[in-house]
Structure 1
């Protein structure tokens, strides 16, 4: 299984609750860039599991639109928001598809990358960074930055 882990794009700190934070213009540009990269690579997830937080929703909706990925592949998973890395790991392990995309938040995303590849030492996964992991080889293939 190929695992794609996407941290939400750059968001505002404009007084909304953490859950309601929206993307900045830069965040929308980052999301579009990642979507265009996925399209150019012909990398299409079979399933997308995403945090329902507004910034994660905006991120994946823009990514999906730019990558020509059907929105019906997106599942909003409440417990991805503020999830402990062990829970994210279990969610990933339960998948049976060829390619999964999980959209979430730090520090969970970078911790899960390190769990999936014990030799990885990810520290500081930026907004809208996309990690690609080969699950069978337990190997981080690359990190794509917008």
Structure 2
């Protein structure tokens, strides 16, 4: 399984609620750049899961309209909620893209790399791409890519 963690792009600081915060013009550009990079590297049957926050939905929309909104990915939910939503390590699909928030996505990345949650940071509109595989009966996690919008 491929698990791609995609932090929402740059969003406005103030709104009527945290869930209502929208992407800035810079954030829209960031999301479009990462979406273009991802589209050329993942299969058409990849599953995209977005938090119910406006900024994550707008980030997902840069990829197209084939995403699902999952309440378990809302701000404040834990790393395990993200892994459960994606079906890690077996996956609800061969490739799952989770569009979510800090600090949760950073905690997921730390958990997958080290086996322990820690306060790792993922830049806005950045992605961390993990692959889970089994060798000799043991599960392994491979970090395939870390991409930030300023590198594109």
Class of the TM-score when normalised by the shorter of the 2 chains? 0.7 to 0.9
- Cross-structure match for 1:68: none
The answer on 1:135 being equivalent to 2:132 is yes
Q: CA deviation at 1:5?
A: 0.7
Unaligned 5+ residue runs, structure 1? 66-70
Are 1:112 and 2:102 counterparts? Answer: no
Aligned-pair Cα RMSD in Å: 2.1
Is 1:60 the counterpart of 2:60? The answer is yes
- Displacement over 4 Å in runs of 4+: 42-45, 119-122
Q: Aligned residue pairs: how many?
A: 139
State the structure with more CA Rg.
2
Deviations 1:41-71 (A, max 9, x none): 3554521111010000000101x13xxxxx2
Q: Which among 78, 95, 106 is matched to residue 84 of structure 1?
A: 78
TM-score (norm: length of structure 1): 0.85
In 2, the alpha carbon distance for the partners of 1:8 and 1:103 equals: 6
Could you list the per-position Cα deviations for residues 51-106 of structure 1 after superposition, in whole angstroms to 9, with x for gaps in the alignment? Answer: 010000000101x13xxxxx2x3111012102111221222226331111111001
Shift of 1:123: 2.4
**Does the aligned pair in 1 maintain the 2:72–2:85 contact within 8 Å?**
no
Task: Give the TM-score taking structure 2 as reference length.
Answer: 0.82
User: Structure 2: 5+ residue runs without aligned partners?
Assistant: 134-139
